[in-house]
Structure formats: C-alpha cells, structure tokens
Structure 1
Amino acid sequence: EQVRESLKGELHRGKAVMIPNERGEIIGEVFPEKGVFFLFPPVDSARPGLWVNQIAIEPVTAEPFVLRAEALTTEQPTEALRDLLDAVRIDPKDAKAHGLLAQVQLTQGNIDAALVNCEQAIRLDEQRPAYHITLARIFIQMNRPEEAKQYLEETILISDRYPHEKAQALAIIGDLYRTGVQPDYEAAINYHSDAIRLASTLQNHANSTIRLAAKETLFLAHLGAAQDIAWGQWNDKEESINKWLARAKDIALDPEVMKTKRISADFLLRLAITALATQIGFPPESDIDPYVRKVIQTGDELIDGTNDPILKQKYQWDTGLALYDAVQIYQIRRDYTPALRYGELTVKYMEGGIAERRSDTDLYLLGRLYFRLGAIHAIGKKNHSAAIEWFDRAKPVFERLLPKINPEELGRLGETLVSMGVSYWEMNQQDEAIRLSERGLRQIEKGVKYGSVDSSALTIPYSNLATMYEKLNRSVDARKYRSLAEELKASGHETQRR
C-alpha cells in the first residue's frame, strides 16, 4: 500500500482508474497516460485495503483510456469525451471506444459526429447490440423514428447474449410505437411490458453494471407505460398512470441506484418530466402547476449541481423540453397566460441547452417554440405586435433548415409560414406577409405532392393571398389565387381550418 501511494505521487499528472473483472470486482488500477498498472491480490478480510502484489509498465494503449472513460461517462462526460478522443487516436479500430464516443456525443447533441463514430463501431463489431441501440437513438434524434423502430426490431434478433441490452431495445421500441405518426398505444405498452419482464430477471445479476442497466430499463419502461396509458384510450387512466409512476419512483429510490449520484438525480428529473407529460391524459380541470414547479425545481438542482459543461447543457435542454409539454397543455386548454409565462421560461432553458448542440432537429424544435409563443399571442391574445416579435426569431431558424426538412414535415411548416403571414399583414408589413404566404404555399404544395398533407390545406393560403393581392390592387394575382381557391372548393377539398 505504501509503495502504491508513493508511486501515485509520482504519477499525479494522470488520473487512475480501477480495473474490474467480469463480476465487477476490483483487480487492479491503471494510469492510462503512463501505462502503469497496479495489480491487486484477491481480497483478504484479514488485511483490509488494496494491496499491490504486482506492478507492471506497458506501452500506452487505448484500452485504459476507454476503461477510464467508461467510469467517467455518467458523472463527467466532458472528461470522458477527451479520453475517448485519445483512445480512437491511439487505436482507430477500437470498437468500444467508438461506441462510447458516439454515446457521449449523442448526449452532447453532436449528432453528425455521433453518427460517424457509431457506424464505425458497428463496422468493427456488428454483433454488439449496444452500438445498434445507440444508432437507433441517433436516428430518433435525426427525426427518423420509423427507421429507428425497424432497426431496433432487427437488433433484438442478435441480442440474446446481451439480455440487458435487449431489454433496452424493447423499451425504446415501445416509446416509438407511442410517439409515431400513427401511434399504436397497445403495441407500445406490450413492448414496455416485455422490457419490464426481461429486465426484472436481471435485477440481481452478479455484475453490477448489468444490474444497474436493468434497473434503468425497468425505470424507463415504467415511465413509458405511464405515458402509453395517458395518450391511449384506457379505462381508469388516472389510477393506472399513478401506479406506473409510483413503481418508477420505487426504482429511482433503490439503494443501489441512489449510490450513483448522477443516475439517481437523473431518474428523479425524468420522473418529474413524465408526471407532467402524463397530465395530458387527466381531466382539463386538473391543476398541472405543481408538476411544472417540480420539473423546474428538480431541473435547477441538477443544473446547479454539476460543473460538467455537457451535463449542464443536457439538463437545461431536458428541463426546457419538459416545460414545452406544459406550454402545449396550457395552450390546448386555452389557458394562455400560464402558457406564455412558462413559454418564456422554456425559451431560456432551451436556448441555454442548445448552445453547443449540433442538431438540426433540436434547432427546429426551438423554432417551433418561438412560433408557438407567437401564435398564442396572435390567436389567444389577439396581439399581433407581440406575435411578430416571436415570429422574427422563428423565421431565420425555419429558413436555415428549410432545405433539410423531412418531406413529411413540409405541409406543417408551410401552414406555419402562412399563419405567420397573417400577423405581418395585420401589422401593415404587406411585403413580408405575402413573402411568407407564398413561401408557405410552396411547402404545402410539396407536401400535397409527397402525400403528407391533404390538398384541402391549400385553401387557406389561396384565399389569404387572393385577399392580400385584392387589397393591394394587384388584380391579376388576386384572380389567380381566387380561381385556385374556387377550383379547390368545387372539387370538394375545401377546409374549415383557420
């Protein structure tokens, strides 16, 4: 022990990492930058502490950096990122290094880099389900949910050797069935139930890493089931939702989970977020404000409690996403004052969280938030002046991302631009109103051609543009759009949306 401590003083510039065996027992310690290993004999109760029975000096390799990164990923992902970048530089063919690097970059919001490293991990070791699961999560972040679902369903077929990873895949598939374009809540809860059954068999596994992974899947699958119930058509929804959330809370307070500070804290934030999200399934008169305040309180505790830049921004983003749910619930209920109050707070969290994120999907979501707040001012408060202040923030986001927008989203984006045009018209900004309306119309037309939106969606932009051009005495343009609107009406495709 004295020799070990003395040498550690000489090696103070590097941080050591413990070496576990396959059962999770500590068998040694390594300083990655120096290639110095301390190897320990089997634990002897008569001699407490860590005793060194062998010291080894080997060439610097990637493996110790990967080992240290794996230990740091949960609490200090920024340091883990540095180690993993060193690891892939030392050994570009280390599949585990690329796989872990993709996970950290996904947490960071660096989606393009995560995709590159994840695909490289799979090329190097295509039989490891963990890499395929990370790739599916990247697809989800890239707004490719159907591709992610199909990919995970194929991944399950190669996962029998890794049941804890198979359970993770089942839980994510459940989430995808709930959140898909055509949700299937029964399939979602069936997959979540399958994940729970499999993960339950691993709670007492000899390996602590597998135990914790199983408990995390159990926790997330219970949250997923609560949301399946909230969004689907079920009897006794409130009672059922509360039962699933209560079980999830029990897992979050599991003694082994509580020992890992960041995992425990993260679980409590996810629990608060899900409790808020499930309020969509409760009666409109239910008070969601306590759930909103709980999300803010828990999120702020995590944000203030970490010095790690990646974690801090992740917690800001996650808290903002949860508050976005609250804004939508208040808007659905036509309770516009709290919708705007929490919406402005949501912007602060999401803008703080997106600073280093390199995800078009995340940026688009922030643009949708700007638009939503403007729409609440325009429609709910009849305040077009306040509305265009938010639209001015949304426009550059939409226009920057327009060439990259998923074809399925074009119709919705087009309707958004047309809606914004109305407020600019009301504020006597006619040129901008027409520009937005024309550009929105083009996107809706593309959506109709693609099949993602019904042709009835063309009625509003045709009518709006006809009216605008009439008031500007541009009779040729006005007649063109009035004629198109009438043709659409005659064909039976008019719409009542406003």
Structure 2
Amino acid sequence: ESKEAESKEAESKEAESKEAESKEAESKETESKETESKETESKETETELSSSETDKISGVDPYKSFRITKKDGATAPSPSDQFHHSPVVFDGIEPGDTTVDELESEWGEPAKKIEMDEGAILVYSVEGFRQIDVFTDADEESVESILVHLNEPAEFDEIQQKLELSEFDRVIFNDDSETPIAYGIPEKGVLLTLDGSSASSLVAQISLEPIRGELFRLRAELDDEHQHSRSISDLDEAVRLDPKDAKAHWLLSELMSKVGRFDDALESGERALRLEPTNTLYRLTFARLAAEDGNIEAGIRDTQSVLDDPETTDIVKARAEYQLGNLIASGPDPVFEEAMAHHLKAVDLSVKHVNDKAAKVRRMAKNILVEAHIAVAQDIALGNFQKKSDVVPKWLTRAAQLGDDFIENDHGDETIRLRVYRSTLAIYAIMDEEFNAAIATEEALKEGKRLIASVDDKVYQSLIERELSEVLLHASKVEYSRGRPKTAMNFASNSVALLHSQASERQPSLFDEVMEGQLYFLMGSLYALTREDHQEAVSWYEKAAPSFTHENLPNLVDASQFGDLFVSMGVSYWQVGKKEKAVELTQAGAELIQQAVQVGALELDALAVPYGNLASMHKQLGNGGRAEHFAQMMARITKETETR
C-alpha cells in the first residue's frame, strides 16, 4: 500500500501530499519497511523514464492486460480448494508464481532496473499506462508484485468492473480524517491506491500481489458494518495463509468471545500468546478468558503483570485497569472499594486519549470510558457506600451520554446502548430503590430490533439476541424483587426463548453458564411461588442445577449466595414427592448459608428457615433424632435473635 506515493514529481506539492498519505497508511499496518524502500526506488525511476527508453507492450484496450487466471482451461477446483483464491494476472505475469526469466521471455528486457537491498525493480512501459513496476524477490528470481501507474486517475467503479472485482467486499483504508486513501480486495491480491489530490478520490495506481493473509485480517479488523460472519471467515483464512499471524489469532479470539463461542476464543487466544508472549493486549485477553472460565486468581495476576510492565502503553493500561477492577469485583471475595479505585484510574487514563489523532486509540479510549462509568456505578451499588440512590444514576446517565456521543460522532459500536440498558437493569436488580424495569426494557427491545433489522448477518443478529436475553433476565429480577410476578414471568419467558434460539451455536464460558442457571432458577421460582406449580418448577430447577454444582464455581463467585436457592428448590422437590433430593438440597443450602453467617455476609436468622424445613422433613420421614436436632437449632437461633 505504501507504493501509493509513487508517480509524482519528487519536488512537487502533489508528491509531498502523497508522501504524507503513505505515512498515514503505514500506521494501519498495510505495508512493511521493505515495501517502502521499493516505493522510493520506483518513484525515482518514474521521474526519469522517457518513452524513447522503454520497450512497448502494445494493446488496444490496456485493461485487457488484466486477467483473472494466468492460463485458459484451468483445472476445476476440488472441495479442498474452496478457500483458495486466484490472483489477478497482468499480461500473463502472476505475482508469486512467475519467474523473472519467464517475465523477460514474455515482455523482453526492462527499460530500467533498479537494484535494492532486497530484490530489484524492473521498469516497463505498457501502452495505455504511465508505467509498470515489477518488484522481484531478494534473489531476483521470481516476481513478487506488480505496480501499475494509470495514465489518468479512474473511477473506482470503472476499475472494479474492468478487473472483475464487483463480487468481492473491499477493505477501505482511511486516513486519520476518515478519508479513504486505498481499497483492497483480499481474494484477488489487489490494492487500489486513490489519487489524494482529487476531490472524488479516483484510483491512481493498481498493485497486484500474491494472495496473502494480511488483507483478509485487515478487512476483519477494519469492519465497521458488523459483518461478523465474513470477519470470522476472513480471520480463518488469514491464519490459514499465515499460521504465524499472531494478530489474526488475537482478533479471532476477541471476536469469538464477543459472539459467545468461548472454546474457540480460548484456543485462538492461546495461539496468539504463544506467537507473541510479550504482547500486552494478547495477555489481557487471555487473562480475561481465564477468569471467565473460573480462574479469577490467574486473571488478576496476569492483568496486574500487564500494568507492571514498563512497555505497556497508557491506552493499554487504561484497559488493564478497567479489567482488573472487574476481576476484583468478582470472585468469592469481592472488594468493591478497591475495584472502584481501578475503574476510576481507567477513566483518568482513557480521558487523555479521547481526542487522539489515531482512530484506533481514540475509539478504544472512548469505549473504555463508557464501560468504566458503568463499572463504577456497579461498584457503588454493591459496595458499602452512602447516598447510592443519588450517585448511581449519575454514573449511569453519564455512561449513556458518552455512549451516544461515541456512536453519533466517532463510529462507535451501536451495541453500547444495549450494554448500558443491560447494566442499568442489573444494577437496580440488586438495589432497593424503586425502579420500573418496563420502561428501560421496552427501550432496549426497540433498539435491539432496530439493530437486528439493520444488518443482514446471522452471527451479529445472534449477538444482539444474546444481549436482549440478558436484558430480559435482569428486568425479570427487578420486577420479581419488587412484587410484580406477572411482568417478571413475561420477561423471564422471553429471555429463555431468545437464549434457546441460539443454543446450537453457543459455547458458554463458566460465567455464561452461571447466568443461564440464574435464569432457569428464576423461572422455577416464579412457577413455584406465583402459580404453585411445583412440577414445572422442578423441571426448571433440573436445568439450573449443573450451573450451581460446577466444580470451578467457588473460584468464580461466592458460593454461599446460592444457599437460599437450594433451600427454595428443596421445597418444590418435596412437594412433588422427591423427598430424598429435597433433604439433600435443603441440607446443602443450610451449609452454604451457615458459611455466609460465619463470615458476616448474612445475619444469624437466615438459618431459621432451612433448619425449620429440615426439622419438618426429617419428622415426616420418621427420623426423630434428626428432626429434634434441627428443631433445637432453629429454637436456639430464634432465641438469640430475639435477645439481640
């Protein structure tokens, strides 16, 4: 791509403009230093070349020189060739396949040959074009790439049609002002550099290269149209063509995590880290994935190591502070005051970069800023703070404002709004303040439906449905805790429907499984307490049980909080005649509640219900001794509570 600086007079203003664009495109990782040196050499040859010095390769229509295949009668592809792509060929010369000897046999001796540190530039003239530069490999044995300089800049649509590129999605490379400077077609190895001096951004140069993974990776990385299915295919192709492309593995890990394919995300994250073990972003991603799978301790340790690394940039530190705060607020022993301190540091660091000229840095900063504001609101809601009812809404409102500004003015991801709605409902599900979930839920559903209708991509649509499922889960919790079981049941039922609609595609993490278990338990509770349908309640509890009995669960959350859940489930199992299971669940719940009482998380009287239930169950089962034991424990708790 950096070849775009060619074809202009070295001392003219237009050449200075092209050189500036080359530096901007370089920041987008589209070219290497080796290619930059080729550009300089090619530019020198262009300014010196005259028609009397060149060999002519004639043609009536110059664009007929471009062909999709090198030879007629190509072998039909087999199923295993489905991901192989045929590059554009120029006058029988195919980059990456044609040798220099074959080139000179076809085209003759070049008008000029410019030696470089690695390889050479062979300069030809073809009728209808200003100049053709052929770049060789380091040994000067094979053709590495071809750069075609057009006589006059041409419309993109015209070039697209003549080169038969219309069926392919292009990569759009923008400068820092969001102005396109080049288009890439990964399937054909084509890069079209635009004429920056033209207001209409016409194509000035056509670069032909072998099919490489880099353009596929860049199309996925620069996708702002939510074409997640295409991006997954592009990244798969990128790592197939170049298994050592660590960034492609990392991008695939991030995308797989986003769309709910946790196992694939973990695998790609491991590969990226093996290839570049010191990369701070790759380390952060893998630390987060480890925590989501139940290893909070490792997640905290590895995230802290990124913060301690002197090579970590400020914007990556902002992301690390945000992530560390999230992990400290999770796990069996959350410390919300400490978590908030890290989230506030994330805010301070990201604010410094919201006006950064580099779009990638600027947008990362704005995304972190929104997420960190939401996280602070949650820390306050869960922690030991005063004036929660006044302060929490302010942080949530500010998060919403920042999100809207990001979306409207800097191409921010529109799913941010859904995350704000989801987080708001989750926070009020744990607060005692009066809150009508119906209003926020209606707005979230309206926005979700709009997003689903706006993009024809199944993977993206499933992502939105998953967000809406969580929105409805938290809305149901809000309504249930405030004594509105009818709306709670409606929200929970719709949440289940959305979750099940994508069940075949999901690879849930342990965190996802816990969320799913909470939803199934909520459904069971609603059937048991509002409809007294214990048979249906048990069917939902059966679905919830695996999530609450996972061996790694104590590493992810405080398991004592599930004590009441087990006691509630025990009642329904008893009602349907599964008495042994009922006693087992109630006993397990009592033990978890007892642990919470011992560490001060619950008051002593929280044990009265499970002990009373156990006393009644054992009495009806004829276990007189056990019944008396629990009856005495319940009486002692009641007496101590009354004394206090």
1:373-400 CA distance string (max 9 Å, x none):
2223434x3x432x43143133145348
Q: Are 1:417 and 1:437, in contact at CA under 8 Å, matched by a contact in 2?
A: no
Match of 2:217 among 66, 73, 86: 66
Give the partner amino acid of 1:57: L
Q: Give the drift of 1:13.
A: 3.4
Alpha-carbon distance between aligned partners in 2 of 1:412 and 1:185, rounded to the nearest angstrom: 17
Q: Give the drift of 1:225.
A: 1.9
Q: Are 1:153 and 1:173, in contact at CA under 8 Å, matched by a contact in 2?
A: yes
Task: Provide the aligned length of Structure 1 versus Structure 2.
Answer: 479
Match of 2:508 among 351, 359, 364: 359
Structure-2 change in CA distance of 1:134 and 1:24 (3 Å): farther
Matches within 5 A, 1:72-221: 72=223, 75-158=226-309, 160-221=311-372
- 1:271 matched to 2:417? The reply is no
Matches within 5 A, 1:374-385: 374-379=524-529, 381=530, 383-385=531-533
User: Secondary structure of 1:39's partner?
Assistant: strand
Match of 1:406 among 553, 559, 568: 553
Q: Are 2:171 and 2:184, in contact at CA under 8 Å, matched by a contact in 1?
A: yes
Give the partner amino acid of 2:532: H
Alpha-carbon distance between aligned partners in 2 of 1:181 and 1:166, rounded to the nearest angstrom: 25
1:381-426 CA distance string (max 9 Å, x none):
3x432x4314313314534884555245766667645532322332
Give the partner amino acid of 1:395: E
Q: Are 1:69 and 1:80, in contact at CA under 8 Å, matched by a contact in 2?
A: yes
Structure-2 change in CA distance of 1:435 and 1:275 (3 Å): closer
Alpha-carbon distance between aligned partners in 2 of 1:495 and 1:308, rounded to the nearest angstrom: 61
Structure-2 change in CA distance of 1:50 and 1:114 (3 Å): same
Q: Give the drift of 1:222.
A: 1.6
- 1:317 matched to 2:471? The reply is no
Q: Are 1:422 and 1:433, in contact at CA under 8 Å, matched by a contact in 2?
A: no
Structure-2 change in CA distance of 1:462 and 1:278 (3 Å): closer
* Unmatched tracts of structure 2, length 5 or more: 1-152
Counterpart residue number, 2:167 = 13
User: Secondary structure of 1:33's partner?
Assistant: helix
Alpha-carbon distance between aligned partners in 1 of 2:207 and 2:551, rounded to the nearest angstrom: 53
Q: Give the drift of 1:305.
A: 3.1
Q: Are 1:171 and 1:191, in contact at CA under 8 Å, matched by a contact in 2?
A: yes
Counterpart residue number, 1:293 = 442
Q: Give the drift of 1:282.
A: 6.2
Structure-2 change in CA distance of 1:50 and 1:213 (3 Å): same
Q: Give the drift of 1:66.
A: 0.4
Q: Are 1:129 and 1:159, in contact at CA under 8 Å, matched by a contact in 2?
A: no
Counterpart residue number, 1:425 = 574
Give the partner amino acid of 1:434: E
Structure-2 change in CA distance of 1:484 and 1:96 (3 Å): farther
Structure-2 change in CA distance of 1:71 and 1:216 (3 Å): same
Counterpart residue number, 1:257 = 407
- 1:237 matched to 2:388? The reply is yes
Alpha-carbon distance between aligned partners in 2 of 1:245 and 1:174, rounded to the nearest angstrom: 17
Structure-2 change in CA distance of 1:421 and 1:224 (3 Å): closer
Q: Are 1:462 and 1:482, in contact at CA under 8 Å, matched by a contact in 2?
A: no
Q: What RMSD in Å do the two structures reach over aligned CA positions?
A: 3.7
User: Secondary structure of 2:187's partner?
Assistant: coil
1:312-362 CA distance string (max 9 Å, x none):
122222222122222223333333333223222322233335452111532
Q: Are 1:40 and 1:52, in contact at CA under 8 Å, matched by a contact in 2?
A: yes
Structure-2 change in CA distance of 1:242 and 1:375 (3 Å): closer
Q: Are 2:586 and 2:614, in contact at CA under 8 Å, matched by a contact in 1?
A: no
- 1:349 matched to 2:516? The reply is no
Alpha-carbon distance between aligned partners in 2 of 1:284 and 1:242, rounded to the nearest angstrom: 11
Q: Give the drift of 1:141.
A: 3.0
1:132-179 CA distance string (max 9 Å, x none):
222233234324444323322222223754322221221222233334
Structure-2 change in CA distance of 1:91 and 1:278 (3 Å): same
Give the partner amino acid of 2:536: E
User: Secondary structure of 2:288's partner?
Assistant: helix
Alpha-carbon distance between aligned partners in 1 of 2:220 and 2:554, rounded to the nearest angstrom: 39
- Higher mean displacement: 287-296 or 485-494: 485-494
Q: Are 2:174 and 2:182, in contact at CA under 8 Å, matched by a contact in 1?
A: yes
Give the partner amino acid of 1:11: L
Give the partner amino acid of 1:366: E
- 1:369 matched to 2:547? The reply is no
Alpha-carbon distance between aligned partners in 2 of 1:415 and 1:253, rounded to the nearest angstrom: 40
Instruction: Specify the structure having the higher radius of gyration (Cα).
Output: 2
Counterpart residue number, 2:456 = 307
- Higher mean displacement: 243-252 or 307-316: 243-252
Higher helix share: 1
1:206-264 CA distance string (max 9 Å, x none):
1111111111111111222222233334344344333323332332232x632566x35
Matches within 5 A, 1:412-451: 416-417=565-566, 419-426=568-575, 429-430=576-577, 432-438=578-584, 441=587
Alpha-carbon distance between aligned partners in 2 of 1:487 and 1:186, rounded to the nearest angstrom: 40
- 1:2 matched to 2:150? The reply is no
Alpha-carbon distance between aligned partners in 2 of 1:300 and 1:318, rounded to the nearest angstrom: 11
Structure-2 change in CA distance of 1:365 and 1:287 (3 Å): closer
Alpha-carbon distance between aligned partners in 1 of 2:559 and 2:287, rounded to the nearest angstrom: 24
Structure-2 change in CA distance of 1:62 and 1:406 (3 Å): same
- Higher mean displacement: 339-348 or 137-146: 137-146
Structure-2 change in CA distance of 1:249 and 1:286 (3 Å): closer
Counterpart residue number, 1:29 = 183
Give the partner amino acid of 1:391: V
Structure-2 change in CA distance of 1:367 and 1:249 (3 Å): closer
Q: Give the drift of 1:103.
A: 0.8
- 1:39 matched to 2:189? The reply is no
Alpha-carbon distance between aligned partners in 1 of 2:277 and 2:176, rounded to the nearest angstrom: 21
Q: Are 1:466 and 1:480, in contact at CA under 8 Å, matched by a contact in 2?
A: no
Alpha-carbon distance between aligned partners in 2 of 1:293 and 1:50, rounded to the nearest angstrom: 43
Alpha-carbon distance between aligned partners in 1 of 2:265 and 2:639, rounded to the nearest angstrom: 45
Q: Give the drift of 1:286.
A: 4.4
Q: Are 1:441 and 1:458, in contact at CA under 8 Å, matched by a contact in 2?
A: no
Q: Give the drift of 1:84.
A: 0.6
Q: Give the drift of 1:191.
A: 1.6
Alpha-carbon distance between aligned partners in 2 of 1:111 and 1:401, rounded to the nearest angstrom: 19
Alpha-carbon distance between aligned partners in 2 of 1:125 and 1:34, rounded to the nearest angstrom: 29
* Unmatched tracts of structure 1, length 5 or more: none
Alpha-carbon distance between aligned partners in 1 of 2:271 and 2:528, rounded to the nearest angstrom: 48
User: Secondary structure of 2:188's partner?
Assistant: coil
Alpha-carbon distance between aligned partners in 2 of 1:271 and 1:146, rounded to the nearest angstrom: 28
Higher strand share: 2
Alpha-carbon distance between aligned partners in 2 of 1:356 and 1:494, rounded to the nearest angstrom: 54
User: Secondary structure of 1:38's partner?
Assistant: strand
Identity of aligned residues (%): 27
TM-score, normalized by length of structure 2?
0.65
Structure-2 change in CA distance of 1:492 and 1:249 (3 Å): closer
Q: Are 2:239 and 2:245, in contact at CA under 8 Å, matched by a contact in 1?
A: yes
Give the partner amino acid of 1:303: I
Give the partner amino acid of 1:341: N
Give the partner amino acid of 2:381: A
Structure-2 change in CA distance of 1:349 and 1:54 (3 Å): same
